[in-house]
Amino acid sequence: MSFFVVDNLSCGYKEGFMVNEISLNLPKGAFAGIIGGNGSGKSTIFKGITGELSLLKGTIFMDDIDILSLSVKERSKRIAVVSQFIDKYPMTAEEYVLMGRTPFRKAFQFFDTPEDREEANYFLELTGISHLKNKLITQLSGGEQQMVALACALTQKPSLLLLDEPTSHLDITYQSKIMNLLHRLNEQEGLTVIMIIHDLNLAGEYCNHLTLIKDGRIVIQGEPKDVISSQIINNVYNTSVYVVTNPISGKPAIFQVSEKWLQIKN
Amino acid sequence: MNKNRLYFLIPLLIIILSGAVLLSLGVGEMHLSIEMLPGIFANKDSMEYGVLSQIRIPRTLLAISIGGSLSLAGVILQGIYHNPLVEPYTLGISGGASLGITLVIVTGINSLGMITLPASGFTGALVTIFLVYFLGFRRGSVSIGRMLLTGVMISFISSSLILFLMSVTEVENIHGIVFWTMGSLNESNSYMVNGMVAVSIISLAISYMFTAPLNALRLGNNMARHLGINSQQVITLLFILTSLLTGTCIAVAGVIGFVGLIIPHVSRIIAGTDYRYLLIVSFLCGSIFLLLCDILARTIIFPNELPIGVITGITGGITFLIIVSQPKLKIKIN
């Protein structure tokens, strides 16, 4: 039941950083997280998948279609990307979300069709920002901007959604809002999600598949309970953590332990 | 941007343009008022008809098409380069064209008759476009910074070479060179005028095939890519379109600066950033601006005529400074 299969991917920058031998095999409806320290190669993998960087080696198949053989336009109907920040260009939230209809535009289509507006409004509603639709995105908070970017990506009607640290600069209200929404879309609509995520607690709580990266290579991948263990996280991040089980969800959660208490304990 | 305001704006601009056209047809050594125009057109043997058809109509058409074209080229270039200082001439095209024209004037080649100078200007522009393109698009990736720097350097080199040529040539040639590099809408060849009008309309139509890519590029090249736009290809095609358009304008009327820099900014302020409206608004504003500037150039030191580049530079520059100094109006570009 493979849906998204990355096989032995290598890509990177000339005479610089590279990611090597990246393989992923995700079923439809996966909620996958890519975790790892700063500079470990998470974003480079994303750039390889989105075509921003050309691959030196490896293949990427989605639904048995080689996505690298697709045109940029065809790819954008299958894969949508939410970047960490959105470019602050003075346009309204509705205009921004309507940009998500770009892949569906006909060559000489000048005006937005009623269908375009319907789709955009549906996702503005779904992401809970329809009351902001006439505001300029430059006037929105970071969390609201993230929701606009997500609504735009969903308007592309992708079967795979890539998110680059969607929660990293948000307060816990927006963190939960965005993760719960993605969870619902994942479970109800079968949207496959892959996100780069720094917050290991959120990763453990929401994702059903985690890939841990270090120095451009996969250290381990699998279910959160297998990836987030004290020993692995301590080694990869070179930080003292203590892993417990979330009493409500049964998912792994981590505590960071300060140097002082570590000394007292020992 | 309020859509209703935009539906109101475009007809308004067309009305202003029509007014400017009537003014342009009427003003000059022989004053013609609006009421006289139908009578003149009915009597094709009159001297008034000759003035209109031979001088004022071609000139008005040129002002409209060149003003619109330069402004259109500017708004597109600023969009694809995400840079508010780019204009058609920043890419060195005017330098190359001027150098071509100067070379021909200095060497006295006159093999093509009336179209010798336009042809040499266009050739100079084409050579520059190829240089900027191959140096800027090297290794298959657009480097905006490299391209701009290449263009600016080509401009410097050309103007130095022009100064060199001017310093070694006879005095009578210098007037021609100076007049060309400051621009003039005084073109009597009707093929050139009709050609310019056709090129400007075709370019506007072609640019409308790129509204979705241009709108997506507002969000950055990467985001545009995620939205299914082949940014690389779009930027290359639009670069070629705007370069050829600019080259044609220079070949017909010489270097008319500032229109392609200032009018796009003014258009963004009044029409917002959506290219579906911005392209036509920019074209219309450019037409109106250049037509009014030409009327000034013709009348201000009557019976003599000022180079139109002087008028566009002074009025455009001052208008722009006033606009920029308004804290409420933010220059809307990346």
Residues (pLDDT < 70) of chain B are 1-4, 111-112, 137-143, 327-334
> What is the per-residue pLDDT for B208?
93
The neighbour count for residue B322, using CB atoms within 10 Å, is 10
CB contact under 8 A, B332 and A90: yes
Positions in chain A short of pLDDT 50: none
The answer to whether B257 and B89 are in contact (CB under 8 A) is yes
Counting beta carbons within 10 angstroms of the beta carbon of residue A173, is it exposed (0 to 12), middle (13 to 18) or buried (19 or more)?
exposed
Predicted confidence (pLDDT) per residue in B129-167, tens digit: 888 877 776 655 666 777 778 888 888 999 899 999 989
> Which residues does chain A have within 8 Å of residue B208's beta carbon, measured at their own beta carbons?
108, 110
Which of A71, A76, A163 has the highest number of chain B CBs within 10 A, making it the mutation to test binding with B? A76
Is this prediction's ipTM beyond 0.90? no
* Chain A, window 58-77: residues with a beta carbon less than 8 angstroms from a chain B beta carbon: 71-77
Q: Is A50 on the interface with B (CB under 8 A)?
A: yes
Q: Say what the pLDDT of residue A153 is.
A: 95
A89:B222 CB<8 A: no
Task: Give the pLDDT of residue B334.
Answer: 39
Would you state the pLDDT for residue A154? 95
Both tokens of residue A141? 């908070």
* CATH for B3-324, options being 1.20.120.1200, 1.10.3470.10, 2.60.40.10, 3.20.20.70: 1.10.3470.10
Sign of the CA dihedral with A188 first, then A192, A197, and A202 last: positive
Partner A contacted by B331 (CB < 8 A): no
pLDDT on residue B47:
82
Q: What's the CA gap between B233 and B211, in Å, rounded?
A: 14
CB A190 within 8 Å of CB A197 = no
CB contact under 8 A, B225 and A105: no
Q: Taking CB atoms and an 8 Å cut-off, how many pairs form between chains A and B? A: 72
B229, B212 contact by CB (below 8 A): yes
Q: Alpha-carbon distance B66 to B47, whole Å?
A: 27
CA distance A147 to A174: 9
Tell me if chain A has a CB within 8 Å of the CB of B301.
Answer: no
Cβ contact B229–A72 (<8 Å): yes
For residue A90, the chain B residue with the least C-alpha distance is B332
Task: Give yes or no for a contact between A19 and A41, defined as CB atoms under 8 angstroms apart.
Answer: yes
Tokens of A93: 């939230």
Chain B hits for A95, Cβ within 8 Å:
274
- Give B224→chain A minimum CA distance, Å: 9
Residue B258 dihedral angles phi and psi, to the nearest 5°: 75, -30
CB contact under 8 A, A89 and B226: no
CA distance B304 to B22: 21
